[in-house]
Amino acid sequence: MNSAPASTDIPAPGDPADVIHNGNPYFEGKPASISREYPTQLHAIGPDGRLRLGAAFDLMQDIAGAHAEILGVGIHDLRRLGITWVLSRLMIKFDALPPRADSVRLKTWPSGVHRLFAMRQFELSDPATGQRIATASSYWLMLKLSNLRPVSPNDVTGTFPGNPDKPIFFEDWGKLEPAPGSDPVRTDIGQSKIDYNNHVNNAHYAMFAQDWLAAKLGYPVRVNSIRVNFNFALRLGESIVTTGEVNGNAFRAVGHTPDGKNVFASDGTFAPMEIAEK
């Protein structure tokens, strides 16, 4: 494993003319997608020697932010308008185990607007072989900082890039069951979980779900697919209680504050994790 910085943003390999042509001068001619190769640093590797679920979430947020900056809708661009991005929903499905390798390649592109959600897709692959590791779809909201009410991205920038020639991996799945399950696990929110927006980073909620599942079963698990709806932002000093249900290789995990407010809802599939030989 190494700790070199991620490579420079580049258009998707084999697609040098992959630029936006949607008639909106704000986006016209900008890269329709970008691709980055990330080193798989030691802290991002789990006990099976492969990329952690939370690390995959972190990398997707990183490359999404990088592309948004290139498109002129990054977090700093929006803050000047009194607006910010909030990740509302994300689904990832692993087609193959992440490789025991020094790096992973991510590719991302926006997919237009669905209702008030800006859609963005991700593809993870092994740089050495080109094998696809995982696909993911995410749904983001633009919120006014003054009242945290959503605004349509199309109203902020004009028509948002749609990339109709590129796939949408997972269509919007709507609301997930928020009712509590069994076997509660409480987590107190410390400083290490707080991000730039001064609340718990969304990657942690996927890890709360995986942690609950491992505690419930009594052994480490690899999440093969997961859908997460992010419903409430936790801040420093608050707490979350995660509960859920298991049915075969499927699970449901939800998080609530101690007074019952739903924080996140998730479901997915899993398998026992094979621990790497040391």
- 74-121 residue pLDDT tens: 999 999 999 999 999 999 999 977 667 789 999 999 999 999 999 999
How confident is residue 5, by pLDDT bands cut at 50, 70 and 90? Answer: very low
Give pLDDT tens digits for 7-19. 545 555 445 579 9
Residue 194, domain member (yes or no) = yes
Alpha-carbon span 233 to 29, nearest angstrom: 36
Query: How many domains are contained in the chain?
Result: 2
Residue 1, domain member (yes or no) = no
152 lies in the same domain as 206: no
Q: Which of helix, strand or coil describes residue 213?
A: helix
Residue 24, domain member (yes or no) = no
Residue 171, domain member (yes or no) = no
75 lies in the same domain as 121: yes
pLDDT at 1: 42
Residue 277, domain member (yes or no) = no
Residue 213, domain member (yes or no) = yes
54 lies in the same domain as 136: yes
Give pLDDT tens digits for 31-66. 999 999 999 888 888 888 888 999 999 999 999 999
- CATH assignment of the domain containing 248: 3.10.129.10
Strands (E) in the chain, as ranges, are 34-39, 83-94, 103-114, 117-125, 132-144, 150-151, 182-188, 221-230, 239-247, 250-256, 262-272
CA dihedral over 163, 169, 175, 178, signed as positive or negative? negative
Domain carrying residue 141: 34-157
42 lies in the same domain as 152: yes
151 lies in the same domain as 186: no
How confident is residue 169, by pLDDT bands cut at 50, 70 and 90? Answer: very high
91 lies in the same domain as 189: no
52 lies in the same domain as 118: yes
